[in-house]
Structure 1
Amino acid sequence: MSLTLDSYRLLGRSGLRVSPLALGTATFGTEWGWGAERDEARTLFDTYAERGGNFIDTASTYTDGSSERLLGEFTKDNRESLVLATKYTTQRRAGDPNSGGAHRKSLFASVEASLRQLNTDYLDLLYLHVWDFRTPVEEILRGLDDLVRQGKVLYVAMSNVPAWEVSRMQAIAELRGWSPLVALQIEYSLINRAGERDLIPMARAMGLGVTPFSPLGGGVLSGKYRRADLTAPGTDSTESGESNRKGFNAALGMVTERNLTIADTVTAIAAELGRTPAQVGLAWTLHNPGVTAPIIGARTLEQLQGNLGALEVDFTADQLARLDEVSAIDLGYPHDLLAGEHIRTVTTGGLRIETRNS
């Protein structure tokens, strides 16, 4: 399965065409201790766009707003050809309780700030970034619909939200004639397959395209971590950007014995294919029929070009089976129960019943 960035896919149950890899721009700017300076960020953006990429992912507070501001500069000559996705809910001003959250005041203020920073009069796609467990879903959905009706947002989506809340919102939106959700952004990779329990099946059933972030598990699948990193001391802000990022991922619990074992299998298969571990990790996500467009981030041109090589990776059935086995998770109740032999026996009595997807 060889793809290119201009092998466009429909985003969920919409007519919006997006590239199979989205360009993540949380690395545009160095305010977080790692990332790309302006000129390097411009090179990353131009390289992606020149190869046919059209799907750009950012957020109102990425690199303290630098990500959106840089994109506002970079996109001024081809804005209409791009699908710009941003997000709201993260706090924009310390000490201000209404500068973050999912509520209407936060929503409208964040969108206006994004429009200014991106130097545009509309957003192609707006995600709710982080669920806050406080704002009524009707308030969220009505606010999003109002923005669509005003022409400031074209499509709306969710990120980091429980599956049952997303499905409830989609049903409410449909019943009330409000703008439907078209995408779901979740963390998903070989080292974090939790989305397979409910989020990805829910998204496929409810018409949401899945756009995974961190498809390389914070870089663990790229092979940059070793067993020594399991006990290595944390890094401080005086070290290089790469060290800061490694320390950040270690603090998040990304570097574990299980994850390094998965990375070992990824590295072995990469050697068999003559590819890099990062390309193999990304390609596995791309091959999932429930995924529309993984989000790739890069700090250097070399990293971006390497990640784009994932579009050309083909696996054998044996290689896919090995990746699946080493990264497998328990789906938990009720999924494990329903997939068990006892339930099949008491519900079908051994009959063979074929399921065909329409």
Structure 2
Amino acid sequence: MNLTAFRTLGRSGLIVSPIALGTMTFGTPRWGAPDEVAESIFHAYVDAGGNFIDTADVYAKGRSEELIGGYVRDRSLRDQLVLATKFSFHGGEPSNPNAGGNGRKNMYRAIEGSLRRLQTDYIDLYWMHVWDLVTPVEEVLQSLGDLVRAGKIRYFGFSDLPAWYATKAVTLASAHNLPAPIALQLEYSLVERSIEREHLPAARDGGLGVCPWSPLAGGFLAGKYQRADAGATGEGRLGGSNPFGNTKFTERNWRVLDTLRIVAAQVDRPLVQVALAWVSAQSGVTSPILGAGKLEQLHDNLSSLEIRLTPEQFQMLDESSALDPAFPYGIFTSEVNRSIFGGVSVQGW
């Protein structure tokens, strides 16, 4: 494995590892990792050369941030690591709507809490965790820019939002010479490729790196389910709750899993590693975010960096998991291209 094959995140100077350590399992021993296991996972990732740590203020109600802050302090790693955390979800009294969302008031409440729990003066990458459907992009952009100028964050990015929202933010930032987002964090895997329609092209055009979450589809691509589980939620089979319930148990996804098994047998590697190798190789992807509840899972995940699939194997996986046609993309064919240009095929740069 080579976690030191660093790359820049999007069109920025922030340098990150090819795999980010997701820490949603930290501080949640019921279904995640007990504290001593979380600590071993953190140290193993860093000792392997990793520098990109991803958390959120709502993970284990702030406990994940607290643990990470302690681990970083104990080893004096602050300058070495890229710490990323998130805001958006409610973090106060239930009757107080301003303790959630992407407005400036909640953003400032959230950043102060994260800085305190992480025991740091600044966040390297501050994610808007989810689009709240109400806050104007202008307010979000200005507020995050103010945090950059105040030195409380170095960069920011967006997670789980429409592509048009991210594009508008990039455009406004360019037009008004404001700090701009540098990355998107989105669900992406062999069985969830929807972002290929709008988000990946938008990210490439806007200079945004893409950090996929759940690249194993909640364990589905690890082969931990069988068709007999299709009526179950998967409770207990992953050592805890499957966040997707049974939504991944579709006939299409079972076919994708069958193809993944064929390719994994060809390269003599676990399903997990092949699925991760496919995600990591996709254009625009910078650092998949991988969580682990056990130290062995971390090592298994990191070993995916050693895999080099052949073009034929990529084709098998691509064809088995291809998106269903959706308007207007069915129109954009080579035949239409030729009809537009008088029978001549024209390719863009």
Kept in 2: contact 1:220–1:260 (CA 8 A): no
Find the counterpart in structure 2 of residue 12 from structure 1: 10
Find the counterpart in structure 2 of residue 124 from structure 1: 124
Find the counterpart in structure 2 of residue 75 from structure 1: 72
1:63 is displaced (CA, Å) by 1.4
Q: Secondary structure at the match of 2:39?
A: helix
1:69 is displaced (CA, Å) by 0.5
Find the counterpart in structure 2 of residue 154 from structure 1: 154
Q: Which whole-Å CA distance do the structure 1 matches of 2:345 and 2:28 have between them?
A: 58
- Residues 151, 78 of structure 1: alpha-carbon distance in 2 compared, 3 angstrom cutoff: same
- Residues 184, 50 of structure 1: alpha-carbon distance in 2 compared, 3 angstrom cutoff: same
Select the residue among 36, 41, 52 that pairs with 1:39: 36
Kept in 2: contact 1:279–1:306 (CA 8 A): yes
Kept in 1: contact 2:27–2:64 (CA 8 A): yes
Q: Secondary structure at the match of 1:211?
A: strand
Q: Which whole-Å CA distance do the structure 1 matches of 2:311 and 2:266 have between them?
A: 13
Q: Are 2:318 and 1:319 aligned?
A: no
Q: 1:173-229 CA deviation, whole Å, 9 max, x = no partner?
A: 111221111000000000000000000110010010000000011110000010111
Q: Which whole-Å CA distance do the structure 2 matches of 1:100 and 1:234 have between them?
A: 30
Q: Which whole-Å CA distance do the structure 2 matches of 1:331 and 1:121 have between them?
A: 48
Normalised to the residue count of structure 2, the TM-score between the two structures is 0.95
1:355 is displaced (CA, Å) by 3.7
**For residue 244 of structure 2, what is the amino acid of its counterpart?**
N
Kept in 2: contact 1:21–1:293 (CA 8 A): yes
Query: Which aligned runs of 4 or more in structure 1 are off by greater than 4 angstroms?
Result: none
Kept in 1: contact 2:87–2:107 (CA 8 A): yes
Select the residue among 246, 254, 275 that pairs with 2:248: 254
Q: Which whole-Å CA distance do the structure 1 matches of 2:299 and 2:234 have between them?
A: 30
**For residue 136 of structure 1, what is the amino acid of its counterpart?**
P
Find the counterpart in structure 1 of residue 139 from structure 2: 139
1:257 is displaced (CA, Å) by 2.3
Aligned pairs for 1:73-222 (under 5 A) are 73-76=70-73, 77-95=76-94, 96-222=96-222
Select the residue among 219, 238, 241 that pairs with 1:242: 238
Find the counterpart in structure 2 of residue 274 from structure 1: 268
Normalised to the residue count of structure 1, the TM-score between the two structures is 0.93
Q: Which whole-Å CA distance do the structure 2 matches of 1:63 and 1:264 have between them?
A: 35
Greater shift in the superposed pair: 346-355 or 106-115: 346-355
Q: Which whole-Å CA distance do the structure 2 matches of 1:241 and 1:35 have between them?
A: 13
Find the counterpart in structure 2 of residue 64 from structure 1: 61
Kept in 2: contact 1:34–1:241 (CA 8 A): no
**For residue 230 of structure 1, what is the amino acid of its counterpart?**
A
CA RMSD, 1 decimal: 1.5
**For residue 329 of structure 1, what is the amino acid of its counterpart?**
L
Listed as ranges, the gaps of 5+ residues in structure 2 are none
Percent identity of paired positions between Structure 1 and Structure 2: 46
**For residue 198 of structure 2, what is the amino acid of its counterpart?**
D
Q: Are 2:346 and 1:353 aligned?
A: yes
Find the counterpart in structure 2 of residue 55 from structure 1: 52
Q: Secondary structure at the match of 1:6?
A: coil
